[in-house]
């Protein structure tokens, strides 16, 4: 129910938002006041009369989502959250951008109540919102049951957002908008803050696209331009957007950055710098606002929001009553949705995934495909796909479970399937996957060749920062890509990804390790998991009799232990484990005994007690050699400063994989020779 409000009170509320931003940025001497000043009217209208939420329960599953893609305008969001009674006090507003505050420079998911996703890198918020909207549509199709206007089904909510010119310029936005339009995400509504200003000056210096034309061509419903202060027109546009069920909506809003400031309104100075005490005083005078106290929230504003908070909670209660009707009418759907939200798993998941894979020779990408197929049978809330590489098992199409989007076929529900064709959109794919994870119903995965993880680094990093349960499935993990040459052969990628805080990287050596890596990701991960898989076939490992499946979850374990004390310890992951075993056989003929340690996950190994680590990889003078068909510098801490890492120093070459192995020394004899020479030189 729309809030009853006089024009004077509305203006006071808008100015409250503006000056909370001005005062906070001035106090921090850092931040971006301009966008909050220009968007105050639009944000208030959106939150007050259109968004469904309960500030006492920020994680209420049936809420609408709001994404501030231009995260530099964070004080706009913090001001709204404070006024609507989220657990964000005025003291937190005063502490904007300070150590330990709930009001960091850019919104952070998991830190500030009411923040739906971490934003800051421009375009990422928008692309994450596309994933949220897709997850909602899939939830409604999977669990909603027969349509009934008297029921509140999961997935019926909308995803709203605000974005600016900076978001529009980033390539990820174009990719994500293209996918959203192609999929027909009618539950996605974005307001484009067209203030025509960038940090360096007016947008004419670098940006002259026809944005309405661009989005129309990508299948969006476009409205505007609407004046940023024309609240009735914006309200009508939002209503029309919600009525457009088959197309995402863009509302072009023409605002004035730094609105109300005599000195900086409409200028790039309003973008990324505090107004300063003098200009803040002039702005308050111009808008009839007291200069003191700072961080002022008038009593009439508090009173209004007290009433609106009550109304939002009452609306939530009414929605919950309708939701209970849905539960009673659709018990199987309700049970399935609850199981997905609660992440219920079979008690014997690991054993079911590993069954029949011991000793099987194959590429780990194919083992991964087989494991994913099994997962879809026992974990029905898994969804995902690849960047147009399903034929390369990165990851594959699970044929039994349908396609998402127009590929579902004529007459089919386009959101009932589990397989997502992301297209050649690696940038957007990672962010959309994160958005699906943020929704909270599905466990999403996505994949491509490992070399193209470079395109996805911002999304991978944000997944780690937010501790999302996103799964990144990368294949073609080394120079064994072969004929495609150095442009497609990942050399430095494994090292660069292993240093991302909070990202767990598995590089399995065979089917058993692959299955156990997926089981760990489903059962134990509290953040994103990355799988680096081979293109080429590998031998199934022969393991000692005392091997247990959970040894894989320790990050490393013995594959070969000599009868007498080891002369050298060979550490490897992925395709190099079987190579190390073959090299050890060559060394044994020469009288050199080697322990072989498979290290599928360096992060999990480093998390083990030091005594357990040293029992596998000693620090007692026994030489340690690491082998990796990439740079391999991740293992430098294990082998020591003067230790040997058999890795790559260049970018690779174009040739068949076998020839490359010979040329680069990654043959049993080549590795044995390097190890023997190293031992001789000690």
pLDDT digits (tens, 9 = 90+) for 432-464: 999 999 999 999 999 999 999 999 999 999 999
Q: What is the pLDDT of residues 457-516, one digit of tens each?
A: 999 999 999 999 999 999 999 999 999 999 999 999 999 999 999 999 999 999 999 999
Question: pLDDT band at residue 682, thresholds of 50, 70 and 90?
Answer: confident
- Mean predicted confidence (pLDDT) in 371-387: 97
The predicted model gives 640-644 an average pLDDT of 89
Residue 551 contacts residue 403 (beta carbons within 8 Å): no
- Over residues 659-668, the pLDDT tens digits come to 999 999 999 9
CATH no., domain 7-315: 3.40.50.970
Buried/exposed code over 149-169 (b: 16+ C-beta within 10 A; e: otherwise): eebbbbbbbbbbbbbbbbbbb
With CA atoms as reference, report the closest residue to 206 among 170, 163, 251.
170
Task: Please report, for residues 84, 506, 539, 551, 555, the alpha-carbon distance to residue 360 in angstroms, rounded to integers and kept in the order given.
Answer: 58, 19, 7, 19, 21
Identify the helix (H) or strand (E) that includes residue 275. none
Residues in CB range of 619: below 8 A, 6 or more apart: none
Percentage of the chain surpassing pLDDT 90? 96
The tokens 């995400």 sit on which residue?
Answer: 185
Q: What's the half-sphere exposure (Cβ side, CA atoms, 13 Å) at 180?
A: 37
Summarised one tens digit per residue, pLDDT across range 583-592 is 999 999 999 9
State how far the Cα of 571 lies from the Cα of 537, in Å rounded to an integer: 20
pLDDT band at 420 (very low <50, low <70, confident <90, very high): very high
Q: What stretches of 224-290 show up as alpha helix (H) in DSSP?
A: 231-243, 269-272, 276-286
β strands within 203-300, DSSP E:
221-227, 249-254
Secondary structure (DSSP) of 303-343:
HHHHHHHHHHHHHHHHHHHHHHHHHHH-HHHHHHHHHHHTT
Place of tokens 């004035």: 256
Distance CA 668, CA 578 (A): 9
Instruction: Give start-end residues of each CATH 3.40.50.970 domain in the chain.
Output: 7-315, 349-532
Alpha helices in 420-559 (DSSP H): 426-439, 457-466, 493-498, 511-523
Taking 90 as the threshold, does the pLDDT of residue 165 lie above it? yes
Amino acid 666: pLDDT? 98
The answer to whether residue 675 scores a pLDDT higher than 50 is: yes
pLDDT at 89 over 90: yes
Contact between residue 532 and residue 476 where contact means Cβ atoms under 8 Å apart: no
Under 8 Å CB-to-CB from 16, ≥6 apart: which residues? Answer: 79, 83, 296, 297, 298, 301
Q: What is the pTM of this model?
A: 0.97
Rounded Cα–Cα distance for residues 10 and 564 (Å): 83
Fold exhibited by the domain 349-532:
Rossmann fold (3.40.50)
Provide the annotated active-site residues.
426
State the pLDDT at residue 1.
43
Helix (H) or strand (E) holding 201: strand 201-202
CATH of 555-681, one of 3.40.1410.10, 3.40.50.880, 3.40.50.920, 3.40.50.620: 3.40.50.920
Q: What pLDDT, on the 0 to 100 scale, is given for residue 2?
A: 59
Neighbours of 72 (CB within 10 A): 23
103-153 tens-digit pLDDT = 999 999 999 999 999 999 999 999 999 999 999 999 999 999 999 999 999
Secondary structure element (H or E) that encloses residue 472, with its range: strand 471-475
Q: Is pLDDT of 653 > 90?
A: yes
When pLDDT is cut at 50, 70 and 90, the band that residue 393 belongs to is confident
Hey, which bits of 25-110 come out as E strands? Answer: 65-68
* DSSP secondary structure string for all residues of 617-634: S--SS--EEEE-SS--GG
């Amino acid at each position: 129910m729309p809030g009853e409000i006089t024009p004077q009170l509305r203006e006071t509320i808008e100015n409250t938002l503006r000056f909370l931003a001005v005062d906070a940025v001035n106090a921090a001497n850092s931040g971006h006041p301009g966008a909050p000043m220009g968007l105050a009217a639009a944000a208030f209208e959106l939150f007050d009369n259109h968004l469904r939420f309960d500030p006492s329960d920020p994680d209420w599953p049936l809420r609408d989502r709001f994404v501030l893609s231009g995260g530099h305008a964070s004080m706009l969001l913090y001001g709204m959250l404070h006024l609507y009674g989220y657990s964000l006090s005025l003291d937190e507003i005063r502490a904007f951008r300070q150590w330990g505050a709930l009001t960091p420079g850019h919104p952070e998911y998991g830190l500030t109540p009411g923040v739906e996703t971490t934003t800051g890198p421009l375009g990422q918020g928008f692309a994450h919102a596309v994933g949220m909207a897709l997850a909602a549509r899939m939830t409604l199709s999977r669990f909603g049951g027969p349509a009934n206007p008297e029921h509140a089904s999961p997935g019926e909510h909308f995803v709203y957002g605000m974005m600016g010119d900076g978001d529009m310029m980033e390539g990820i936005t174009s990719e994500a908008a293209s996918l959203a339009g192609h999929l027909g995400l009618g539950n996605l509504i974005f307001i484009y803050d067209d203030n025509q200003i960038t940090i360096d000056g007016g947008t004419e210096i670098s940006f002259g696209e026809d944005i309405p034309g661009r989005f129309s061509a990508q299948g969006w419903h476009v409205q505007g331009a609407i004046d940023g202060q024309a609240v009735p027109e914006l309200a009508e546009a939002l209503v029309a957007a919600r009525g457009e069920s088959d197309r995402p909506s863009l509302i072009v809003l023409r605002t004035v950055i730094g609105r109300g400031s005599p000195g900086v309104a409409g200028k790039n100075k309003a973008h990324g710098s505090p107004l300063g005490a003098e200009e803040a005083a002039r702005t308050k005078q111009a808008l009839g606002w007291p200069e003191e106290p700072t961080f002022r929230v008038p009593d009439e504003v508090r009173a209004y929001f007290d009433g609106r908070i009550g109304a939002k909670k009452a609306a939530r209660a009414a929605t919950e009553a309708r939701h209970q009707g849905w539960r009673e009418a659709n018990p199987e759907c309700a049970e399935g949705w609850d199981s997905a939200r609660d992440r219920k798993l079979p008690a014997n998941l690991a054993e079911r995934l590993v069954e029949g894979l011991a000793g099987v020779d194959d590429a780990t990408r194919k083992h991964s495909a087989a494991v994913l197929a099994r997962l879809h049978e026992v974990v029905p809330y898994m969804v995902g796909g690849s960047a147009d590489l399903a034929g390369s098992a990165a990851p594959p199409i699970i044929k039994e479970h349908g396609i998402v989007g127009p590929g579902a076929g004529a007459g089919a529900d386009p959101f009932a399937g589990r397989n997502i064709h992301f297209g050649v959109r690696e940038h957007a794919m990672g962010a959309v996957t994160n958005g699906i994870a943020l929704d909270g119903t599905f466990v999403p995965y996505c994949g491509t060749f490992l070399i193209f993880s470079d395109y996805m680094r911002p999304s991978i990093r944000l997944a780690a920062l937010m501790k999302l349960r996103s799964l990144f499935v990368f294949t073609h993990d080394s120079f064994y890509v072969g004929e495609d040459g150095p442009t497609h052969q990942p050399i430095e990628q494994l090292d660069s990804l292993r240093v991302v805080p909070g990202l767990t990287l598995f590089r399995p050596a065979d089917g058993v390790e692959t299955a156990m890596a997926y089981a760990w990701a489903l059962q134990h991960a509290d953040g994103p998991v990355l799988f680096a898989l081979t293109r080429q076939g590998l031998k199934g490992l022969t393991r000692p009799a005392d091997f247990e499946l959970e040894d894989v979850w320790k990050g490393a374990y013995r594959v070969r232990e000599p009868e007498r004390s080891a002369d050298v310890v060979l550490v490897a992951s992925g395709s190099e484990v079987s190579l190390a075993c073959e090299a050890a056989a060559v060394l044994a003929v020469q009288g050199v005994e080697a322990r072989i340690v498979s290290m599928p996950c360096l992060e999990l190994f480093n998390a083990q007690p030091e005594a357990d680590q040293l029992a596998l990889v000693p620090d007692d003078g026994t030489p340690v050699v690491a082998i990796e068909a990439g740079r391999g510098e991740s293992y430098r801490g294990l082998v020591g400063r003067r230790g040997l890492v058999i890795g790559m120093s260049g970018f690779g070459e174009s040739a068949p994989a076998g020839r490359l192995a010979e040329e680069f020394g990654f043959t049993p004899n080549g590795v044995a020779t390097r190890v023997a020479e190293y031992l001789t030189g000690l």
